[in-house]
Chains A and B, each alone.
Chain A
Amino acid sequence: MKGNQLSIKTIVAIGIGAAVFIILAKFAAVPSPVPNTSIQTSYAFLALMAVVFGPIAGGLIGLIGHALNDAISYGSVWWSWVAVSMIVGLLIGLAAKKLDIESGIFNTKKIITFNIVQVIAQGFGWFLVAPALDILIYAEPANKVFLQGLFAGVSNMVTVGVIGTLLLAGYAKTRSRSNSLTREL
C-alpha cells in the first residue's frame, strides 16, 4: 500500500457524499429570481464534508456530485459550473486541518476562519472560474455570465455561511469526547 493513496473511508465519503449532494440538490434547492440559478443547500453540505474529510474528498464530492446530478436530472453536464463545485470543495477542504472539527470544538474563532475561507473559495470559483469557462466554452457574453456568477456566488456564500456553519456546529457536538460515556442510574 502506498501512503499517498486515498483511504477507504475517504473513498466511501466521496461516494456517499456525492449521493447526498445530489439528493439535497434535487429536494432542498430553493428557486431564485435570476435565470438558471437557484439557492443550493447542497453547498452547505459540501462545505461540511470538505471540512470533515479534507480537500480531496471535498473536490471530488463537488465534481462527482454535480456532474452526476446534471446528468441524471438534465441529461447533459454543464462542465463550467461542475468545475466550480470541485474548486469550492477543494479550497474549503484546505482549511480542514486548521479547523480540526473532530476535536469537537467549534468556537467563534473557528467560525470566523471557516467563513473567511468559504467566502474566498466561493468568490474565486463563482466570480472568476465560472464566467471564464462559460466564455471559453460557450462564448457567451461576458456581462451576462459575470452577473450570473455574481448572483450564484453571493447566494451560495450566504447559504454556506448560515446553514454550513450550523451544520458544522451540529457536527462538532456529535463528536463525543473520549472517556465521557458512563451509565447513569
Chain B
Amino acid sequence: MKKRVIEFNNYSFKYHSQAAPTLHDINITIFEGEKVLIVGPSGSGKSTIGHCINGLVPFSYKGEATGSLKIMGKDAHSLDIFSRSKIVGTVLQDPDGQFIGLTVGEDIAFSLENDSTEQGIMKNLVEETVKTVEMDEYLSSSIHHLSGGQKQRVSLAGVMVDKVEIILFDEPLANLDPATGQYAIELIDRIHKETNTTVVIIEHRLEDVLHRHVDRIIVVDDGRIVADMCPDKLLSSVILESSHIREPLYVRAAKYAGCDVIEEMKPSQLHSFSIESCKDKLLDWFEKANEAVPKEIKLPILQLKDISFRYAPGHETIKGISLSVEKGEMVSIVGKNGAGKSTLSKIICGFEKPRSGSILFKEQDITGDTIKERSFRIGMVMQNPNHMISKHLVFDEVALGLIIRGVPENEAKKQVEKVLKICGLYPFRNWPISALSFGQKKRVTIASILVLEPEVMILDEPTAGQDLRHYTEMMDFLAELNRQGMTILLITHDMHLMLEYTTRAIVMNKGRIIADDPPSMILTDSEITRQANLKETSLLVLAKRVGIKEPKEFVEHFIAYDREVRRQWQ
C-alpha cells in the first residue's frame, strides 16, 4: 500500500466573510508519487482546495473548517506553515504575487536563502534550475521586464529549486503559449518522474494537461467533489459535460459522431485513443460544410502604419508593424510569449507612445489623441485583471465607466445588470472584488469594458482561466456584438478559440507580423506554427487518422455542430 500524502475526510471550509461554505464535505486521498489533476468551473473552489493543502487556509485566509485533513499522515492542524512549506511547494495562480526577488536569479534562490544555503551551492542550484525552464539568458534580468509567460517559467523554477514532496500548481498554463504550455507539461512530467514527487495540478486546459499521463482527475463543482477517477474512465462518462468543462476536442468529436467512448479505448491521449470502432461513424458524421461566403470588402476601421516601439533603448519590442483591420472583423492576434502582443494593444489604446509610425481610425489620424479620446472608440481589457480594478465592489467597478460618461443612474444600472448577467457575475454584484476567484475577477474587467460598447474592442487573453460555460457565454455575446458591427481583436493562446470565433489571425513573432491569414491556413503551415510556438488542434490529427481528405472542413463542421449543442445550455 502506498503512503497517503494528502487526505481530506468529510472536510468543509467556509471563508470568514462568506455566509455559506465554499467547500462541502470533501473526501480526497492522494498517494505518494501520484499525479493528480483538479478541474472544475471557475469559482468552484479549486484554488481553495489548494490553499487548504499548502496551509494558506487557515494561516492566511481565515475561516471555519470541519472534518479532517492529513498531510503526510499528520493532522494538518499540527503543522505550522513552515513545516508545510518544506513539504508542499506551490506555484500560485496570481502571476503578480509570486515574485519576491528583484531579478530572476534572486527570485529562484529565495527559498534557498531562507534555508541559509551556502552561496556557492545556491548559485549552482539556481543555474541548474534556470536551465530546465530555459530562462538562463534572463538570469540577471529584472522580473519587472518579463512577459507573462516568462514569469510563469520563473515561478516554476522557484518552486522546483527546493526539494519538496508535493508540488501544487494552480493553473500553470494560464498565460503560456501553446508550445510553451506543452513544454511546461512535459517539464512537470519529467520532474514528477525524476524526483518521484507528488504532483497536484489545478487547470482549466484539460486537453493540454493530458498531453502527458495523469493518474487521476478530480472534478470539483460548486464546492463538491463530483468525480474522482482515472482519466480514461472520466472521459468516457458524461460528468465533464454536465459540469461544463471542456473535454478534449477529439473526444467530443467522437461523441458527437455517436461513438460510444468507453474506458478501454483509452481516450485520455490522442495517440493511444483507439478509434477503429468509430471510424465509420466519424466519416458518416462529417459532411462537408458549406462553402464559405466570399467576404464583402468593408472600410478599414483601424490602421497601423509602420509602428515601432521600445521600452528601453537597445531592444526594439515592436519593429515596424503595419496592419489594417476592417469594420466588423473579428481578428485574433497570436504568437509566442513575449512576442509583443500586449505591447501592441497598449500602443493602439495610447497607453504607450510609438517611437515612429501612425495610427488611423476610420482614416483619421489618432496618433496624437489622448487615451480618453481614444477610449470612446477603442475599449481594452488588459491581460492582468489587477491592473484594471479600482473599485471595491463588483457593481461599482462595472458601472464606473458609465458614471464617468454621465449616463443617468437608472439607465446605467440597467446596462450594468445586463452585462453582469452575461458574464455570470450577477449573483456577486454586491461583493467586494477581493472575495472573487481569479477567473471571476477577469470577468469583472471584461464586463467593465463590454458595458461601454466601444466600436473596437481589444481583449487580452479574455478566456484565460475561464470554464467552458462562461467561455461560451462571453464569446457568444462578443460574436453577437460583432454581428451588430463591433470590431473585435482577441489576443489569445487558445488555438480553438481562434478557429472557432475569428476569421483572420495575425501571427506575431519578435515584434513583427509573420503571418496574416485565415486561422485554418495558419495552423496548417508548419513553418509558421513552429516559429510562433502555435500548435495544431487535436481535431486535425483525428481527422487525418480517420482518413478524412479535408481535415480543415472537418474542423469547421465540428465547430458549427459544437456551437449548436452549446447554445442549448443557455
Contact = CB atoms under 8 A, between A and B. Distances in A.
Q: Do chains A and B touch in the complex (CB under 8 A)?
A: yes
B428 A174 contact: no
Interface residues of A, number: 13
Contacts of A178: 16-17
Contact of A181 (B19, B392, B426): B19
Interface in B283-341: none
Given A173-B392, A174-B392, A176-B17, A183 B432 contact: no
B392 A177 contact: no
Contacts of B392: 170, 173-174
B183 interface: no
A7 B427 CA distance: 36
Nearest to B435: A181
Contacts of A184: 427, 429-430
Interface in A108-144: none
B428 A183 contact: yes
Q: How large is the interface on B (under 10, 10 to 19, 20 to 34, 35 or more residues)?
A: 10 to 19
A182 B20 contact: yes
A9 to B, nearest CB: 8
Nearest to B62: A178
A178 B18 CA distance: 7
Interface in A139-185: 170, 173-174, 176-185
Contacts of B432: 174, 176
Interface in B434-479: 434-435
B376 interface: no
B61 interface: no
B561 interface: no
B351 interface: no
B492 to A, nearest CB: 30
Contacts of A179: 16-19
A185 B427 CA distance: 5
A170 B16 CA distance: 20
A178 B432 CA distance: 13
Contacts of B426: 185
Interface in A41-67: none
Nearest to A12: B100
A167 to B, nearest CB: 13
A178 B15 CA distance: 8
B107 to A, nearest CB: 15
Contacts of A176: 17, 432, 435
Interface string B403-445: 0000000000000000000000011111110110000000000
Nearest to A15: B100
Contacts of B427: 183-185
Contacts of B430: 184
Contacts of B18: 179, 181-182
B20 A180 contact: no
Interface string B1-33: 000000000000001111110000000000000
Interface of A: 170, 173-174, 176-185
Which 7 pairs from chain A and chain B are nearest by CB?
A: A183-B427, A176-B17, A182-B19, A178-B16, A181-B18, A179-B19, A181-B17
